[in-house]
């Protein structure tokens, strides 16, 4: 990855010349005139070493320059000429311009790596547990579940691509208060809470008058007949369906409470057992065992946390909805109390999803039975579009899903735009199928000189960078945004450069380029779980 190389050689130059250790950040400039990569590091160290930033940039440029194609005495470990030009400009940026030679070589590199292109060894096979959805088995999945569901699934894909061992896990709250309330609802007594149509169906299947038993049976049916099929429909395959009840059966809850007591982190107050979560930054202490003897969900959540770590996971990722925000501090507190490191626990809280239809917001609530389920949405707009719309929004922002727009736009929306690029490539390949070009000669790749060709290659080599960035900050929406950029670069290339020409070497080179583009488009869409049709 050339970005990594630039970072490395710049850091080396700074260390050697200025004796400063600093992490250099390499960015892609907004304007083409500023090159393909740039760094502001000269301006940053200017303060520390009290020198003119532009002067520093000039100096660093001089240090880095031997890596350019034009250089004479190349260092021994030097692979190939990365740059045509490196420049230092006011107020102190260093801009890097990739060489054509380097770009052209990348095409054969991608063709060689195929679906492995973009794969990294960043994760070093560390085990990551990603828990998402984990909706209570008290009703069908909602749109909010879709957000965490798709993002969690795709993050798992990306982390796997980055070299982690990822496990998708669904935590089933199959015991406790919610299940009892479900039981009451199915029985239809005065404590009824859930009111959807599915409750009436359950009433036919589950008989009895003990709310707990009825609830447990109903929960089992909901899990098997509603939730599991929904996740299948979403294109998600969980590695583990983890039962909360099993934690009680194996006494893991009791054991972890003992552990906390032994650490002197619990106390009794008004008949309840409290955990001193304020010792670890929470704003109030939390109850583990209620005065009536029942254990809270928090208690089993701590046991579950410990269970995950004991299964050898280095990192735990949770996807929660904004309505669970209040829970973050206490779970982090529990993790610290058990002696785990802060970096091991990542809780991603996504803001709520709101659905608009006919210009009006549709309120979703399991309790009133008035909501659109995720299944309905997927039936309505299709899985590809549903996934894309949920993935493209940053988790921090509220997601407004306009049903009419998603349907109306189904002819003109970004998903089709991306898939269309792939379909166009396939169409060309069908026409030149007989030519059997799979590995163009590097001699011929040198013919890729058109700005649209070079620009397309520059997009292609962003792919591993996107994987690296997401693996570091979990911002999944980078992937769909990238897919749009990549498709746009292809469509521009398509306008400017005819692939099927009488010029055989050029034909070979351009076929290589579109084959590489096809690979990267497919890799990107595969990671998002969006289909890649060869024809549209």
Partner RNA sequence: GCCCCCGUAGCUUAAUGGAUAAAGCAGCGCUCUUCUAAGGCGCUGAUGAGGGUUCGAUUCCUUCCGGGGGCACCA
Nearer to RNA, 338 or 349 (CB): 349
Q: How far is the CB of 75 from RNA (least distance, A)?
A: 25
Using CB under 7 A, which of 25, 116, 207, 251 touches RNA?
25
Nearer to RNA, 117 or 149 (CB): 149
Binding residues for RNA, total number by CB under 7 A: 87
For tokens 């970072």, the residue is 7
Binding status of residue 272 toward RNA by CB under 7 A: yes
Nearer to RNA, 74 or 213 (CB): 213
The structure tokens listed for 503 are 């010029």
Note if the bond before 420 is cis, omega within 30 degrees. Answer: no
Window 333 to 362, contacts with RNA (CB under 7 A): 349, 351-352
Binding status of residue 249 toward RNA by CB under 7 A: no
Cβ proximity of 82 and 97 under 8 Å: no
**Which residue stretch of 13-21, 124-132, 224-232, 417-425 sits at the interface with RNA (rule: CB under 7 A)?**
417-425
Window 435 to 474, contacts with RNA (CB under 7 A): none
How far apart CA 473 and CA 151 sit, in angstroms, is 13
The structure tokens listed for 121 are 């060894």
For tokens 């009840």, the residue is 245
For tokens 């785990």, the residue is 340
The structure tokens listed for 58 are 């000039």
Cβ proximity of 374 and 230 under 8 Å: yes
The structure tokens listed for 238 are 């969980």
Nearer to RNA, 166 or 510 (CB): 510
Window 480 to 499, contacts with RNA (CB under 7 A): 481, 484, 488, 491-492, 494-495, 497-499
Binding status of residue 536 toward RNA by CB under 7 A: yes
3-state secondary structure of 181: helix
Report in angstroms the alpha-carbon separations of 180 from 120, 193, 220, 223, 242. 47, 10, 13, 15, 19
The structure tokens listed for 188 are 């239809």
**Which residue stretch of 123-131, 140-148, 212-220, 416-424 sits at the interface with RNA (rule: CB under 7 A)?**
416-424
Using CB under 7 A, which of 4, 114, 237, 431 touches RNA?
431
**Which residue stretch of 182-190, 255-263, 311-319, 425-433 sits at the interface with RNA (rule: CB under 7 A)?**
425-433
Binding status of residue 417 toward RNA by CB under 7 A: yes
Nearer to RNA, 308 or 510 (CB): 510
Identify the bridge partners of residue 83 per DSSP, sorted by sequence position: 98
Q: How far is the CB of 494 from RNA (least distance, A)?
A: 4
Window 52 to 111, contacts with RNA (CB under 7 A): 89, 91-93, 95
> Exposed, middle or buried: residue 143 (CB in 10 Å: 0-12, 13-18, 19+)?
buried
How far apart CA 297 and CA 306 sit, in angstroms, is 14
Using CB under 7 A, which of 52, 210, 427, 451 touches RNA?
427
Binding status of residue 322 toward RNA by CB under 7 A: yes
Nearer to RNA, 30 or 72 (CB): 30
Window 27 to 56, contacts with RNA (CB under 7 A): 27, 29-31, 33-35, 38, 40, 43-44, 47
Calculated CA dihedral for residues 467, 473, 476, 480, nearest 10 degrees: -60
Site string (152-191) toward RNA, x via CB under 7 A: ---------------------x--xxx-------------
Nearer to RNA, 307 or 477 (CB): 477
Binding status of residue 113 toward RNA by CB under 7 A: no
Question: Going by C-beta distance under 8 Å and a sequence separation of 6 or more, which residues neighbour residue 281?
Answer: 329, 332, 333, 336
Q: Are strands 37-39 and 83-89 parallel, antiparallel or unpaired?
A: unpaired
Binding status of residue 230 toward RNA by CB under 7 A: no
The closest of 134, 222, 196, 144 to 367, measured between CA atoms, is 196
Binding status of residue 312 toward RNA by CB under 7 A: no
Residue 279: in which H helix or E strand, if any?
A: none
Using CB under 7 A, which of 191, 224, 291, 451 touches RNA?
291
Q: Are strands 353-357 and 360-362 parallel, antiparallel or unpaired?
A: antiparallel
Binding status of residue 229 toward RNA by CB under 7 A: no
How far apart CA 146 and CA 132 sit, in angstroms, is 10
How far apart CA 255 and CA 152 sit, in angstroms, is 30
The closest of 198, 264, 258 to 227, measured between CA atoms, is 198
Q: How far is the CB of 87 from RNA (least distance, A)?
A: 9
Window 382 to 401, contacts with RNA (CB under 7 A): 392-394, 396-400
């Amino acid at each position: 990855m050339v970005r990594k190389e630039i970072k490395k050689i710049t850091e080396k130059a700074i260390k050697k010349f200025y004796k400063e250790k600093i992490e250099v950040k390499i960015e892609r400039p907004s304007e083409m005139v500023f090159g393909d990569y740039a760094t502001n590091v000269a301006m940053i160290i200017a303060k520390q070493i009290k020198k003119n930033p532009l002067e520093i940039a000039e100096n660093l440029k001089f240090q880095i320059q031997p890596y350019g194609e034009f250089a004479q005495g190349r260092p021994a470990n030097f692979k190939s000429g990365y740059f045509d030009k490196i420049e230092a400009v006011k107020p102190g940026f260093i801009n890097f311009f990739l060489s054509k030679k380097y770009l052209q070589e990348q095409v054969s590199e991608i063709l060689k790596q195929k679906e492995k292109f973009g794969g990294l060894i960043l994760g070093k096979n560390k085990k990551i547990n990603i828990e998402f959805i984990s909706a209570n088995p008290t009703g069908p999945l909602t749109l909010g579940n879709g957000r965490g569901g798709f993002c969690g699934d795709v993050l798992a894909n990306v982390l796997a691509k980055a070299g982690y061992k990822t496990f998708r896990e669904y935590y089933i709250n199959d015991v406790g208060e919610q299940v009892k309330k479900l039981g009451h609802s199915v029985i239809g007594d005065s404590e009824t809470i859930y009111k959807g149509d599915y409750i009436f169906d359950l009433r036919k299947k589950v008989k009895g008058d003990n709310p707990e038993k009825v609830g447990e049976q109903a929960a089992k049916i909901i899990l098997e007949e509603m939730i599991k099929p929904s996740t299948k429909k979403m294109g998600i395959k969980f590695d583990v369906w983890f039962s909360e009840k099993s934690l009680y059966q194996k006494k893991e809850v009791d054991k972890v409470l003992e552990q906390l007591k032994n650490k002197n982190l619990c106390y009794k107050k008004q008949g309840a057992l409290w955990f001193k979560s304020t010792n670890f930054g929470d704003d109030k202490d939390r109850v583990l065992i209620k005065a009536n003897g029942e254990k809270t969900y928090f208690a089993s959540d701590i046991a579950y946390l410990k269970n995950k770590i004991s299964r050898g996971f280095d990192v735990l990722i949770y996807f929660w909805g904004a309505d669970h925000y209040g829970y973050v501090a206490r779970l982090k507190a529990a993790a610290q109390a058990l002696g785990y490191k802060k970096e091991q626990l990542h809780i991603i809280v996504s803001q709520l999803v709101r659905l608009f239809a006919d210009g009006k917001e549709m309120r979703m609530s399991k309790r009133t039975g008035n909501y659109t389920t995720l299944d309905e949405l997927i039936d309505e707009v299709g899985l590809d579009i549903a996934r894309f719309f949920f993935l493209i929004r940053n988790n921090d922002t509220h997601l407004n899903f306009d049903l009419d727009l998603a349907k109306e736009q189904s002819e003109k929306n970004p998903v089709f735009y991306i898939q269309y690029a792939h379909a166009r490539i396939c169409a060309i390949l069908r026409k030149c199928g007989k030519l059997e070009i799979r590995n163009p000669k590097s001699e011929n790749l040198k013919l890729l000189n058109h700005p649209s060709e070079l620009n397309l290659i520059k997009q292609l080599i962003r792919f591993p960078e996107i994987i690296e960035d997401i693996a570091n900050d979990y911002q999944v929406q980078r992937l769909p945004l990238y897919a749009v950029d990549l498709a746009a670069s292809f469509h521009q290339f398509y306008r400017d450069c005819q692939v099927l020409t009488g010029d055989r070497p050029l034909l070979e080179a351009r076929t290589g380029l579109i084959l590489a583009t096809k690979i990267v488009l497919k890799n990107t869409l595969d990671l998002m779980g969006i289909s890649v049709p060869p024809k549209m």
